[in-house]
Structure 1
Amino acid sequence: MADSFSSGTTYYNKVKAEDWAGNVSPVSLSDGIVVDTSGPQLVNQLYMSTTELIQNPSFETDTYTVSAAVCDGSDPTSWSLNADGCVKLQMSSAPIAAHDSQYILMSGDLSQTVSVTSGGLYRLEIKVGYPQVLDDHHKAIDGYVSLGLDSHAFHLDPDKCEGRCEIETENSILWNTLTFYHTAVSNSLTVVIGTRFTTSDMRLAVDAVSLVRVYYSQQFSGQPVEPSTETTALFLPHWSSVNSVWHFEDPQTVIVDYMWAVGTIPGGTQLQNFVSVGKLNHGVAANLALTHNATVYVTVVATNLAGLTTKVNLNPVIVDMTGPEILDLSDSSGLDIDYQTSYTIAANWAIRDNESNTDHCVWAIGSIPGGYDVKIFESLPALASYSVSHGVNSVDYPAPYKFYTTVRCYNTLGLFTVAYTNGVTVVSPNRNDGIQSMQILADSSTYRFASDQCLTTSDNIRLKWDLEQTDTLIKKYKFGVRDLTPDPEYLVTVNCTDDNALVNGTSFNDTSLNITSDNSTSYLCNCTYENMTIAGNLTEGENGTGSFCIATTWLTNTSAIDRTVTERMSPESDFPLFAASLHDVSVITSRNVSISVTPVDIFDAEMQGQDSMVIVSPPGPQIVGGMVIPDSNLTSTNLTVDWTGVFSSYWSDLVYEVTVGSKIGASNIVQWQETTDTTMTLELSNSEVKEFNLSLVITAYDQCGLYNTYNSELFPINLP
């Protein structure tokens, strides 16, 4: 007999018998034995068929109709429901479904039979979860999936996703991904999805059911490739589940058993001890207590018929209890904006998930944060960053209208994050709005209000204005103060005798004239001065010593007055202003100034503004003379008093307040009577005496509210 045998070689035993008589029996041959010295080996990679065997896999074939019934009256196309079961087709514009826009709620058994190849390996993937809206009496889900005679139980979060499936005021579905493998034993396979109870107390959300054939070697070009091991999980703070799949092969002997364990270190069993699953190449461990960012290790031991084993550590999985991070979500394709004139609504953002890979994002446009009434959610593939846009009908959303972009991003674990922009307002590009009127609020040191033509303070300006349209288009205001006092003029006399003097159109040096002092003939000439041509007269020099041109003109001294324009910008605000105070302006008294206010819109363009001219308060009325004392002997009971020339003022329209009494400080005849005239006729017929003295107190007020008071001397009056 040989000392060693070659692994993988089949050896046979031959036996024959011979008796004492020398008779020999026919040779008998054993069925052979395969020599196997190595354990099972992991398959390098899987090749997936592109042919989907399930009909109506995401329940999009049937048309959704709104109904208050708990169950639909018919089964989904290509599916069969048991007699006690219940199924309800669901649809939402929000990204509720795991695939496309429709999914089902079911209880009982839902099945479909498909054609397969006997001996072929098939992969079933299914998305399951709790309904979007749960009744108070809804039970924790216990479900199962059957592939032929193989049945696999699964359990969902016993807390029924409470606190994890809410997005603002709207619930969502946290989809669990379940993966199972099955080797067909005939040419047909019945797939069953079921729940433990067949009442509304336990309804299961189902979507994206997929069954494809799997090969260990490439069958055709372009066939999708998958790794030979895969671990999917759902991590929640109070409950987690791990679903692992592995693929081994052994060319020599049959694999008879798989054991798998889950731990927090490579090869560890801290979370689940080694459990045998027989010949199944997948396992589910649920109700695990994990922490965010921890690492989960799955270990698989494969045993063949020869008793040889192979131990493999699957790729570790980082515990992720958070959805992807949505970064820098902005209105527009660049930096965030608050206003625009275009009805193309754009947004951009970046995505990051340090623990898991991003699966996809969806985005929508609404009239409120999180809304999707303008544009329903659209799915986008996994990218590092996104830039999207959508045209909106201006007729449906007249300007100004504010739009919000909402983004939801999902990782490969099914966890999601929602974010929305602060909104962008579309405004009309053709606006005539702005400031309709403006008023300068004058301060007066007396009870008499100053006119709006007068600025009573030289360092503080108060103003208010009215807007034609009160909305948030105005970002800030520009205020301006400018001196309008006329520039002074001065006389310039030019004496020119060189070539720049022209006499009647002829150069001065080319003009031969004999002009005497008594010559009455006038010759016009022109001189050039600082690039100006000035008209003048040709004049004879003293003692007949020749002629020269003398030209005169008035020029303006543009540098005599400071023309500095004071410009100030208000702080940016989301709300329009209607009044302002400008401090520390320091304008010069007795000067005419222009005060302006101009709105600046959100595009930094100036809108319609207003300005007003005022005079910075000149000195108040001055007493420059005395009142003419009337004749004391009256011919009637009427007395006319005249204070013309008593006051001098910048203003020509003073207001006078007159008080008349029979003694100094008295007001028994006239008290605080106002007039704009410089004379007043007093009626003295009511006087009980014929001889008395009069005293006048006259206060003059100007447009700025400034005043001065004149007190007359006592003068006698004799009534007739």
Structure 2
Amino acid sequence: MTGNTGILFDDLKVQRTIFHHHSDVNENGKHIHAHVVALHQWSSIHASWSFVDPESPIIDYMWAIGYTEGSREIQGFTSVGLNNFAYNYNVSLAHTSVIHITVIATNAAGLRHEVHAGDLLVDLTPPIIDFINDGIGSDIDAQTTDEVSANWEVHDAESGIDFCEWAVGYQPFGNDVHTFQELNEGVKRTSKVFPSSQISMQMVHVTLRCRSKAGLRSSKSSNGVKISNLPPNTTTAEVEILPHSLTEYNPRNHYQGDTSYVRVKWTGFEDLTGVDSYLLTFHTQDKTTVISKSIIAEDQDTSFCLLRGLDLSTGNFTTSIKAVNKRYLRSEPVSSNVVVSSNAPTLIVNPLLQLALDNRTIKSSWENNFKVYQPLYYEVSAGTTLGGADIIQWQETKNTFLEFQLPPKIKSLRDLSGYISVRGVAANGMTTVLNAAVKL
């Protein structure tokens, strides 16, 4: 080019141009979008931006990452060409640290503009769901209505809660009753009425699923609520009075001789919501209550109760048990009877026990010797000496006679004497003994 060379401008248009300088700090964060992705021990940083230069085309973008605005401790300035986005997968970030992203755009005229993203908080933890309770307050285990309710507490101190969803299922974290539905912001309780055919006699669980503004999720299920408006089932329930004896002989046939103790056993009461307690009533034949008490249900198949300190007169008594479920619904009563009598069998005046020997067979009879007030059985022992039992011992019978053989060890029958003891045992366990000595 010589001194006479010039430049011809044609179709010249004058337009005002505003240049952005490094001092334009008020623009920071408006042109760069950035976020962190964290998964287990791995994390990455993603950023995107938008620049416009109507005069000269943009020819290059560079970006850097640091802990303060404009710094490069995490990543130095790196060119990404004309891409308006960038990411760094090879980075380790500390929870709750704050990072800054800087982007420099260069146009064809060599001019640069530097922009800083807003503070980016690194949040590596999902929302914390402190609890989720069935019901509108403290957690409930059972209910009678078809309205499923839940309340909870959730927070995320670093990023805040973006949104939460809730669902209802037959299993924890299930949604087969009610699919996940987004909740309004800040809601901490919800409820919904379902068809009785869908949830009656079922246990249902409410599940809460929340996402933080950092994109992290957490979920938690309630421990479940059982829904039933039916009282406890007594189909397989049984109540039994365990007779208490004052002697070594066990009572039989719903009799007992002890007038101060009654032992009760029961089993088989069933309820979906669980049995909370039992109501026990012990009353006379004319329905006069002797004692009534509530008994906390234990986690066992069979329950027992000892009624002590009683002063029962002779007569018939009934024990009734009602089961009470978690919703305080009572079952029909299941009962058992007992006859209380401390009376022992008695003998007639001048009792006579008959014995006869016929070819080594002894026939004994004590018919009409015992006065019978309740069912009796007899325990027979016989020997060749007083108090002995070398012929038979403790032979039980319900008859008033007994035949038995002399044992082979008794060789001679000459001058043989027999000693026999017949003990009458009443159904209440009380006894009376009839003794006799006969020359055979």
Classify the TM-score, shorter chain: 0.7 to 0.9
Alpha carbons of 1:385 and 1:315: their partners in 2 closer, same or farther (altered >3 Å)? Answer: farther
DSSP 3-state at the match of 1:354: coil
DSSP 3-state at the match of 1:565: strand
DSSP 3-state at the match of 1:230: strand
In 2, the alpha carbon distance for the partners of 1:668 and 1:643 equals 27
Please report the RMSD computed on the Cα atoms of aligned residues, expressed in angstroms. Answer: 4.8
In 1, the alpha carbon distance for the partners of 2:18 and 2:30 equals 26
- CA contact 1:343–1:426 (8 Å) conserved in 2: yes
Q: TM-score, normalised by structure 2?
A: 0.73
- CA contact 1:297–1:317 (8 Å) conserved in 2: yes
Whether 2:155 is the aligned partner of 1:352: answer yes
Q: CA deviation at 1:665?
A: 3.7
Alpha carbons of 1:462 and 1:486: their partners in 2 closer, same or farther (altered >3 Å)? Answer: closer
Pair member with larger Rg: 1
Corresponding position of 1:618:
342
Q: CA deviation at 1:234?
A: 0.7
1:709 to 422, 433, 439: 433
In 2, the alpha carbon distance for the partners of 1:656 and 1:421 equals 64
Whether 2:366 is the aligned partner of 1:644: answer no
Corresponding position of 1:451:
253
- CA contact 1:42–1:228 (8 Å) conserved in 2: no
Corresponding position of 1:477:
277
Q: CA deviation at 1:579?
A: 2.2
Q: CA deviation at 1:349?
A: 2.9
- CA contact 2:417–2:438 (8 Å) conserved in 1: yes
- CA contact 1:43–1:248 (8 Å) conserved in 2: no
Deviations 1:655-675 (A, max 9, x none): 222345554345687765555
2:119 aligned partner, one-letter code: P
Corresponding position of 2:6:
none
1:472 aligned partner, one-letter code: L
Q: Mapping of 1:31-180 within 5 angstroms?
A: 39=21, 41=24
Corresponding position of 2:243:
442
Aligned-residue sequence identity (percent) comes to: 24
Corresponding position of 2:375:
653
Alpha carbons of 1:585 and 1:260: their partners in 2 closer, same or farther (altered >3 Å)? Answer: farther
Q: CA deviation at 1:410?
A: 2.0
Q: CA deviation at 1:603?
A: 0.7
Q: CA deviation at 1:599?
A: 0.9
Deviations 1:583-641 (A, max 9, x none): 47333365665433221112122111223343556265577966347799xxxx98754
In 2, the alpha carbon distance for the partners of 1:642 and 1:309 equals 126
Q: CA deviation at 1:567?
A: 1.4
Alpha carbons of 1:590 and 1:701: their partners in 2 closer, same or farther (altered >3 Å)? Answer: farther
Unpaired segments of 5 or more residues in structure 1?
Answer: 1-27, 46-225, 488-557
Q: CA deviation at 1:306?
A: 9.2
Whether 2:422 is the aligned partner of 1:695: answer no
Deviations 1:215-256 (A, max 9, x none): xxxxxxxxxxx9655322212344322233556789999988
1:402 aligned partner, one-letter code: M
- CA contact 1:435–1:608 (8 Å) conserved in 2: no
Q: Which of structures 1 and 2 has the larger relative contact order (alpha carbons within 8 angstroms, sep 6+)?
A: 2
Whether 2:386 is the aligned partner of 1:664: answer yes
Corresponding position of 1:424:
225
2:331 to 596, 607, 623: 607
- CA contact 2:69–2:101 (8 Å) conserved in 1: yes
Unpaired segments of 5 or more residues in structure 2?
Answer: 1-9, 357-361, 406-410
Q: Mapping of 1:3-22 within 5 angstroms?
A: none
1:582 aligned partner, one-letter code: C
- CA contact 2:257–2:343 (8 Å) conserved in 1: no
Alpha carbons of 1:591 and 1:419: their partners in 2 closer, same or farther (altered >3 Å)? Answer: farther
Whether 2:212 is the aligned partner of 1:411: answer yes
- CA contact 1:434–1:607 (8 Å) conserved in 2: no
Corresponding position of 2:296:
570
Alpha carbons of 1:696 and 1:246: their partners in 2 closer, same or farther (altered >3 Å)? Answer: same
Corresponding position of 1:65:
none
2:118 aligned partner, one-letter code: N
- CA contact 1:330–1:421 (8 Å) conserved in 2: yes
Deviations 1:348-392 (A, max 9, x none): 433311222323333333333333333333344543524143624
- CA contact 2:32–2:50 (8 Å) conserved in 1: yes
1:627 aligned partner, one-letter code: P
Q: CA deviation at 1:697?
A: 0.6
Q: CA deviation at 1:689?
A: 6.0
- CA contact 1:434–1:599 (8 Å) conserved in 2: no
Corresponding position of 2:266:
464
Alpha carbons of 1:460 and 1:273: their partners in 2 closer, same or farther (altered >3 Å)? Answer: farther
- CA contact 2:384–2:390 (8 Å) conserved in 1: yes
Q: Mapping of 1:242-253 within 5 angstroms?
A: 242-245=45-48
1:604 aligned partner, one-letter code: Y
Q: How many residues align?
A: 419
- CA contact 1:240–1:288 (8 Å) conserved in 2: yes
Deviations 1:661-696 (A, max 9, x none): 55434568776555557x648799xx9969764433
- CA contact 1:348–1:386 (8 Å) conserved in 2: yes
In 2, the alpha carbon distance for the partners of 1:591 and 1:447 equals 19
